[in-house]
């Protein structure tokens, strides 16, 4: 009876993420599925902020390769260095120590900064801070003009990226009139317009309601699967990280864990050290085990929990 109740409860709540986007296959290694050339390569990357005269170490010896086309989620508690790391990937911070290559460009070479920013676009938490114009088409055109796109090509490019983010026909709309999810999708369109290899999302869903989050996650999935973009996604929502190919867990500026969502999220010890709550299905798996109910595998999504309970 308890099991039946659990099945019912999780069937009911299993609507948002599992309906939205199917997680990567349960039983294959997505890291192997997409083994192609690396678009990001970091070797012993370290960084300190100079804060009121004292150095605050934010990254320590980060060594990391990201294959082209990978969807990587960066997780870790507040202040562990996630934003600092992705700011390096977008050349917003200079390399102090170590090596970093983005799309084959050496980030230590100042002459590469603009090319790195073109190769690696960034979407931030608050879409309102990302607009340079209050009219959708002008905002997207701004990035294109910055990168010397011929004026005659700009309308077609705007049309193309609006279609990809599911906002066709919004060219003349005011950004003030859009919902949070729509604003983020316009911000994504602006980034996409200059055709970057990598798109970084720094908590891009944090300020959105569930509907807006769903819109943005679907768009990220499309960018990765259809447009073949490499995705670096920082999120506080563990359920979102399940969708990635790979998770890197940061802790005090260091890599604490690196593996598939299943490897990382089902590892209670790692999650505990990182100060993160495991996904509900993982906790349920361990709670049931403690109560003497052994499920056939450790589920990381609600859908998998239902499957495990049914088995
Ligand atoms: N501009 C800054 N000046 C000084 N210290 C900073 C600055 N930005 C971040 N830090 C510090 O660097 C560390 C890493 O911060 P951050 O990369 O923003 O972490 P996260 O994105 O994981 O929350 C934290 O200790 C934070 O307080
Ligand atoms: Mg941050």
Query: How do residues 205-233 score in pLDDT, each as one tens digit?
Result: 999 999 999 999 999 999 999 999 999 99
Is residue 3 assigned to a domain? yes
Please tell me whether residues 161 and 296 are part of one structural domain: no
Q: Are 119 and 246 in the same domain?
A: yes
Same domain, 21 and 96: no
20 and 40 share one domain? no
Do 254 and 218 belong together in one domain?
yes
In a domain, 265, yes or no: no
- The answer to the question of residue 272 being in a domain is no
Name the closest-CA residue to atom 5, ligand 1: 49
Residue 308 pLDDT greater than 50, yes or no: yes
Q: What are phi and psi of 128, to 5 degrees?
A: -60, -30
Residue 25's pLDDT band (boundaries 50, 70, 90)?
A: very low
Q: Where are the alpha helices (DSSP H) in 69-179?
A: 82-89, 113-119, 136-146, 154-164
Q: Which ligand is nearest to the CA of 82?
A: 1
* Whole-structure pTM value: 0.88
Mean pLDDT of the chain: 89
Residues 199 and 183 in one domain: yes
Q: How far apart are the first and last CA of the chain?
A: 15
Q: Is 274 among the domain residues?
A: no
Residue 36: pLDDT band by 50, 70, 90 thresholds? low
Ligand 1, atom 6, residue with closest C-alpha: 49
Assess contact for 49 and 79: CB atoms under 8 A: no
* Same domain membership, residue 140 and residue 6: no
255 is in which domain, residue-wise? 30-259
pLDDT tens track for 112-131 = 999 999 999 999 999 898 99
Task: State mean pLDDT over 190-195.
Answer: 96
Q: Do 22 and 39 belong together in one domain?
A: no
152 CA distance to ligand 2 centroid (A)? 38
Q: Which atom of ligand 1 is nearest to the CA of 77?
A: 22
**CA 94, 99, 105, 110 torsion-angle sign:** positive
Does residue 54 share a domain with residue 14?
Answer: no
- Measured from the Cα of 250, ligand 1's closest atom is 22
Number of domains in the chain: 2
Q: Are residues 302 and 161 in the same domain?
A: no
Beta strand 97-102 with 105-106 is antiparallel
Ligand 2 centroid – CA 307 distance (Å): 35
Q: Identify the band that residue 17 occupies on the pLDDT scale cut at 50, 70 and 90.
A: very low
What is the atom index within ligand 1 of the atom nearest the CA of 59? 14
Are 86 and 182 in the same domain?
A: yes
Q: How far is the CA of 125 from the centre of ligand 2 (A)?
A: 9
Query: Is residue 59 in some structural domain?
Result: yes
């Amino acid at each position: 009876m308890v099991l039946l109740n659990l099945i019912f409860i999780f069937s009911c709540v299993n609507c948002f993420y599992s309906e939205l986007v199917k997680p990567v296959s349960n039983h294959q290694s997505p890291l192997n599925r997409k083994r192609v050339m690396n678009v990001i390569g970091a070797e012993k990357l370290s960084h300190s902020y100079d804060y009121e005269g004292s150095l605050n170490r934010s990254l320590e010896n980060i060594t990391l390769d990201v294959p082209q086309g990978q969807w990587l989620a960066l997780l870790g508690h507040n202040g562990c260095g996630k934003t600092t790391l992705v700011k390096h990937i977008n050349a917003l911070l200079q390399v102090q120590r170590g090596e970093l290559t983005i799309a084959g460009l050496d980030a230590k070479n100042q002459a590469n900064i603009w090319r790195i920013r073109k190769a690696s676009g960034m979407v931030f938490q608050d879409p309102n801070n990302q607009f340079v114009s209050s009219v959708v088409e002008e905002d997207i055109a701004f990035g294109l003009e910055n990168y010397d796109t011929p004026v005659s090509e700009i309308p077609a490019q705007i049309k193309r990226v609006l279609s990809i983010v599911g906002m066709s026909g919004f060219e003349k709309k005011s950004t003030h009139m859009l919902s949070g999810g729509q604003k983020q999708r316009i911000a994504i369109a602006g980034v996409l317009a200059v055709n970057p290899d990598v798109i970084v999302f720094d908590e891009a869903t944090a300020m959105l309601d569930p509907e807006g989050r769903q819109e943005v996650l679907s768009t990220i999935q499309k960018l990765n699967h259809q447009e073949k973009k490499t995705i670096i996604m920082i999120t506080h929502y563990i359920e979102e990280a399940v969708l990635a190919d790979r998770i890197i867990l940061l802790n005090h500026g260091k890599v604490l864990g690196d593996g598939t969502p299943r490897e990382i999220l089902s590892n209670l010890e790692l999650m505990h050290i990182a100060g993160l709550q495991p996904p509900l299905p993982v906790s349920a798996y361990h709670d049931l085990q403690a109560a003497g109910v052994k499920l056939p595998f450790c589920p990381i999504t609600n859908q998998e929990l239902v499957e495990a309970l049914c088995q």
